[in-house]
Amino acid sequence: MVFRKQGYPETNEVVVCTVKKVLPHSIFCDLDEYTKEGMIHISEVAPGRIRNIRDHVEEGRKVACKILSIDKEKGHINLSLRRVNQSQKIKKFQEFKQEGRASKILQDALKGSSKEETEKIAERIMDKYLSLTSCFNAIVNENLNIADLKIDKKFSDNLIAIVKEKIKPPEVKIKTKLFLESTQPDGITRIKKILDTIKKTDQSVSILYLGAPSYKIEVTSFNYKEAELKLKKVSESTEKLSKQLHCTFKFERQDK
């Protein structure tokens, strides 16, 4: 179960839908994240000519669709299946799965409260954070004052405990290649000292030997901004020590 959002989705938003009815030239779907229904015209099912629409969809199947247009007065939502690429589809279903897990966590934390109260709290969270998953990540990263959500303390304490037990903080990794050389007689000792200093800079910094004179430096953090600051600190300390020990060095950023 995923708690549903109020109102309408945004145009161009990718949403998860359940196919409800398949007609010769159109498909009607329930939007799993909203209390809304949408329609996919046969021209938006797949590229090229479609001989039989049922070759592409069937009732009960979950699909990722893009919102093409919304008529709020008539309550009509036009969807597209063919305009969602594989990468968007994978990402959307991953997010949907995470939100389902977050919904279960919220229900467990609010055991003893009524269904209406639970739904009201879920709505309050999603109004502020757009999703339960975003809210719970903020709890894990200590970036949320639970009092702002106006949840009864007996439930809020339980929610924090369960979230921190069940959800691992999201991590980002940035990598760079380090070229480190020395022409001094004790060059190996000097290079080892520089590498040891890098390791001591932060526990989230790891070094992998690639073969002289190359090393891979990997920095792990909860967000890119913090990871970039850590990498900058590593770079600055490496530059300073390399100059002191008369070693040559160069950092080469890696995207993957």
pLDDT computed for residue 153 by the predictor? 83
Q: What is the CATH number of the domain that holds 177?
A: 3.30.70.1130
pLDDT tens sequence across 149-165: 888 887 888 899 999 88
156 in the same domain as 117:
yes
* 193 located within any domain: yes
**Structural Rg of the chain based on CA atoms:** 26
pLDDT at 256 over 70: no
pLDDT computed for residue 145 by the predictor? 78
pLDDT computed for residue 255 by the predictor? 58
pLDDT band at 224 (very low <50, low <70, confident <90, very high): confident
106 in the same domain as 77:
no
Q: Which domain holds residue 190?
A: 172-254
pLDDT computed for residue 64 by the predictor? 98
196 in the same domain as 144:
no
248 in the same domain as 178:
yes
Q: What is the CATH number of the domain that holds 69?
A: 2.40.50.140
Out of 83, 110, 138, pick the residue that ends a domain: 83
pLDDT computed for residue 207 by the predictor? 92
pLDDT at 104 over 80: yes
pLDDT computed for residue 170 by the predictor? 67
148 in the same domain as 132:
yes
pLDDT band at 36 (very low <50, low <70, confident <90, very high): very high
With vertex at residue 165, the alpha carbon angle to CA 162 and CA 166, rounded to the nearest 5 degrees, is 85
Q: What is the CATH number of the domain that holds 160?
A: 1.10.150
Residues 191-194: contacts with CB within 8 Å, 24+ apart? 191/247, 193/241, 193/245, 194/238, 194/241, 194/242, 194/245, 194/247, 194/249
Computed over every residue of the chain, the mean pLDDT equals: 90
Number of domains present in the structure of the chain:
3
Report the share of the chain in percent with pLDDT over 90: 61
* 7 located within any domain: no
Out of 65, 83, 101, pick the residue that ends a domain: 83
149 in the same domain as 126:
yes
177 in the same domain as 160:
no
* 208 located within any domain: yes
Neighbouring-strand partners of residue 67: 79
pTM: 0.67
183 in the same domain as 236:
yes
Rounded to whole angstroms, how far apart are CA atoms 61 and 58? 6
pLDDT computed for residue 75 by the predictor? 92
147 in the same domain as 128:
yes
158 in the same domain as 111:
yes
246 in the same domain as 176:
yes
pLDDT at 68 over 80: yes
Report the share of the chain in percent with pLDDT over 70: 98
Rounded to whole angstroms, how far apart are CA atoms 168 and 175? 22
Out of 166, 184, 210, pick the residue that ends a domain: 166
103 in the same domain as 162:
yes
Distance of CA 28 to the CA centre of its chain: 29
pLDDT computed for residue 230 by the predictor? 87
* 1 located within any domain: no
pLDDT computed for residue 98 by the predictor? 92
* 209 located within any domain: yes
Residues 6+ apart with CB under 8 A from 232: none
Strand order in the sheet with 214-221: 205-211, 214-221, 172-181, 248-254
* 21 located within any domain: yes
Structure tokens at 196: 């040891």
* 8 located within any domain: no
Please state which of the ranges 28-32, 187-191, 219-223 shows the lowest mean pLDDT: 219-223
